[in-house]
Structure 1
Amino acid sequence: MVRVLNWRPRARDLADALEESGDLHSLHWRAAIEETPRHEFVPRYYQNQGGVPTVWRQVESNDGPAWFDPIYANATLVTQLDPVTVHATTDGWTGVPSSSSTAPGLMVRMLEALDIAADHTVLEIGTGTGYNAALIAHRLQSAEQLTTADIDPVLTGAARSRLQACDHNPTVLTCDASEYLWPRAYDCVIATCGLPRIGESLRAAVATGGRLIANVMPPLSAGLAVLTAADDGTLQGHFHPDGGTFMPARHDATTYARTSPADLGGLREGEAGIPLEAFDDYRFKFLLAARLPGVELQYGIEDGRVMRRLILPDGSSSEAWYEEGRPLSYRERGEQEVWAVATRCWEWYERNDLPSWERFGLTVTPKGHHFWFEHPDQVLTSF
């Protein structure tokens, strides 16, 4: 256990900041923030130093205030780099983040949306550092009510030890949540990793009348679906008015398989049309993610022109060029007409006055997902 004597005033300051920002409203979650030592769960993390590729500098408890101060801010802390991608440099490390301690404000918004009561049972997907599990455990009457799971045994082992050091003993599992057969149904399910879709195991893990909250349709979507389970097992609900993005779930069976662009056919071209600023609009990108499952967005500059590229899992791709913010042309390859779909999304988005997240909803049944606008009868797309 990391020994830091003056963490309680900093935890109270964090709670104050979350109240001021509008993220925190309830007294019980304020108490959880105030009484949970976040520094115990992040003995080391990585700070972004910029560069291409990004250079990460490791910060640990021996670094004193440089390590401690960011922990009690409303900030996400990268705590692990994918060992397959990590490389040492003269200034630190390069690599793709594979785990983090989520910004406390986002965690509290999600926990409040779940409306967790002291006697509820809770399933958390994506244990990570264990900090969020500690917040949940603080709210519950007993350790038996909480199960937290992660696919990474390194993460679950460390989280279990940290939780025990803070007198929390929930069930900590190492498993692939997309395939695991949960032995019970839970009142509340929270996923702190991005899910392409709500798999059958998670759908069945929500008790009748219970709730699930998850960031769905990654990597592009920042939408948080808040779904309630009906008697027949259907999950349905609107998206949270405030979004939240998580790293995509690792080794998820529903992750979209990707094909090399070398497998594609001929080139098509046309006028771009979609304004450049559209690709900075989180809610438009959320709509794109629903209509083009698994789509990725890439940014670039060439010969003074700005480029935006959309790539689908099957390798179909479209790239558009802009000069001084003005759309020029696009070109695409592959079986799917990506840019035509994106253009229709933008036109619909403008016609409906750039709608906010909570006007959209999701219905999940054993047969599939239905993404709708304002009412379940107004389905925009199914997948």
Structure 2
Amino acid sequence: MVQTLNWGPKARLLADSLRESGDIKSQRVYEAVAATPRHLFVPKYFLNAGGVPTLWQERTERDGAEWVDPIYSNTSLVTELGSGKEVGDGWHGVPTSSSTVPSLTARMLDDLGIQPTDTVLDAGLGTGYQAALILKLVDVPSQLVASDIGGTEVARERLESLGYQPRIIEADATSWSWQRQFDKIIFSFGLPYVTHTVRKALAPGGKLIANVFGPLSAGLVLLEAQSDGTLMGRFTKDGGSFMPARRDATPEQSDLSERSEGISDIPIEDFESYHLKFLLSTRFPGLDLQYAVVDGRQVRRLVLPDGRWGEVTYRDGSQARGVYQDQGQGFWDVVEQMWAWWVANSKPTWDHFGLTVGREGQHTLWYHTPDGDSWNVPTAQLG
């Protein structure tokens, strides 16, 4: 069925739906989506069937329409489960790889504006579907270099079945010494920050698009290489979401002997804002938000990779104020300050911010313009 499926009308319907939703703006990206058989890149995937822990149901071509219909819809498809364990009518496991939701891929390709003569780095080859779309946008396959940290052979075979033979490198795109520059770079995994090797790989005037500062709430930033070697650009209106880069480094643990407590003014509902969580993530890389109910009271705990944490407990059902505890060298004071700035500036969204990456690797988040309010992003904490 994989080879004989009449996929053309399905792919064009997917392209039509993405154009109608505004996720595709250019004719070239529309034609790339309409002319690419996504099903060849996801012969097997897992759908979330709910439950705790999550039950994942496997879908293959044997399932007919139940397999193919989600493929040609605007759906992210989990393709690998870490420590996957078969249980009854499904699987338990943690998603480790996926085929990105088509609307996000389309927006990123549109924002990059890939031209037929551009050289492109596809960082995070994955299933190979995004690479196949890029190959529709450039003149010849040799203009594309794709990389992934492992498991590239399957994607290579899928691309070759369509007549494509781009250069594929099995490496960590964030640290590989590229020995060349690219006109466009696209990351399809969460990038903790823009590394020195990535910055150097972007040609002057070139553009890079990536989801940065996750995993709690990553922003999608479009950066352009300046003549002085810095990168600068704005965050897009839509943040998108990618699985974070796989990293082995364990952060050095902080001293947790200093402890404080007090009254927090942060309403519980503000912890649901992707935009506040994004702002906090730029100040505290690797930040995680945990939810709990203790003695009937709602608790929101923020945890850092080095062990520091702070939490607020909302008393007597109140959603406005709570008691916080901080075991992290004044960590919660900074959280309150960032929240107060965000509220005072009418709770700005991703697209009100921009980013500058300096020649020495310093990351500066700025508000509205590079001359506006700004913060240094402490990327050294991420190794």
TM-score, normalisation: structure 1: 0.93
Whole-angstrom CA distance in 1 between matches of 2:294 and 2:153: 46
For the residue of structure 2 that corresponds to 1:332, the secondary structure is: strand
Whole-angstrom CA distance in 2 between matches of 1:320 and 1:340: 12
- Unaligned 5+ runs, structure 1: none
- Selected match of 2:171 from 152, 169, 175: 175
> 1:194 touches 1:245 (CA, 8 Å); kept in 2?
yes
TM-score, normalisation: structure 2: 0.93
> 1:234 touches 1:363 (CA, 8 Å); kept in 2?
yes
Between 94-103 and 117-126, report the one with greater CA deviation. Answer: 94-103
> 2:214 touches 2:286 (CA, 8 Å); kept in 1?
yes
Deviation at 1:170, TM superposition (A): 1.1
- Selected match of 2:367 from 352, 369, 373: 373
Q: Does 1:238 align with 2:230?
A: no
Q: Which residue pairs with 1:55 in the alignment?
A: 55
Q: Which residue pairs with 2:188 in the alignment?
A: 192
Matches within 5 A, 1:275-314: 275-314=267-306
Cα separation, partners in 2 of 1:50 and 1:223, compared to 1, 3 Å: same
Matches within 5 A, 1:109-124: 109-124=107-122
Please list the CA deviations of residues 85-106 of structure 1 after superposition, one character each: whole Å capped at 9, or x if unmatched.
x333234222221111001100
Note the aligned Cα RMSD (angstroms). 1.7
For the residue of structure 2 that corresponds to 1:297, the secondary structure is: strand
Q: Which residue pairs with 1:164 in the alignment?
A: 160
Whole-angstrom CA distance in 2 between matches of 1:126 and 1:333: 37
> 2:46 touches 2:78 (CA, 8 Å); kept in 1?
yes
For the residue of structure 1 that corresponds to 2:10, the secondary structure is: helix
> 1:256 touches 1:294 (CA, 8 Å); kept in 2?
no
Question: What letter is aligned with 2:324?
Answer: Y
Deviation at 1:145, TM superposition (A): 0.3
- Selected match of 1:319 from 307, 311, 318: 311
Question: What letter is aligned with 2:149?
Answer: I
Whole-angstrom CA distance in 2 between matches of 1:325 and 1:52: 27
For the residue of structure 2 that corresponds to 1:194, the secondary structure is: coil
Question: What letter is aligned with 1:317?
Answer: W
> 2:266 touches 2:320 (CA, 8 Å); kept in 1?
no
Whole-angstrom CA distance in 2 between matches of 1:104 and 1:133: 13
Q: Which consecutive aligned stretches of 4+ in structure 1 deviate over 4 angstroms post-superposition?
A: none
Whole-angstrom CA distance in 1 between matches of 2:147 and 2:16: 30
Count residues in correspondence.
374
Deviation at 1:81, TM superposition (A): 1.5
For the residue of structure 1 that corresponds to 2:189, the secondary structure is: strand
- Selected match of 1:205 from 201, 204, 209: 201
Whole-angstrom CA distance in 2 between matches of 1:361 and 1:256: 29
Cα separation, partners in 2 of 1:207 and 1:299, compared to 1, 3 Å: same
Q: Which residue pairs with 1:101 in the alignment?
A: 99
Q: Which residue pairs with 1:41 in the alignment?
A: 41
Deviation at 1:62, TM superposition (A): 0.9
Cα separation, partners in 2 of 1:134 and 1:313, compared to 1, 3 Å: same
Q: Does 1:355 align with 2:348?
A: yes
Please list the CA deviations of residues 38-68 of structure 1 after superposition, one character each: whole Å capped at 9, or x if unmatched.
0000001111122222221211111111111
> What fraction of aligned residue pairs are identical, expressed as a percent?
47
Deviation at 1:307, TM superposition (A): 1.8
> 1:373 touches 1:380 (CA, 8 Å); kept in 2?
no
Deviation at 1:3, TM superposition (A): 2.3
> 1:211 touches 1:227 (CA, 8 Å); kept in 2?
yes
Cα separation, partners in 2 of 1:26 and 1:271, compared to 1, 3 Å: same
- Unaligned 5+ runs, structure 2: 379-383
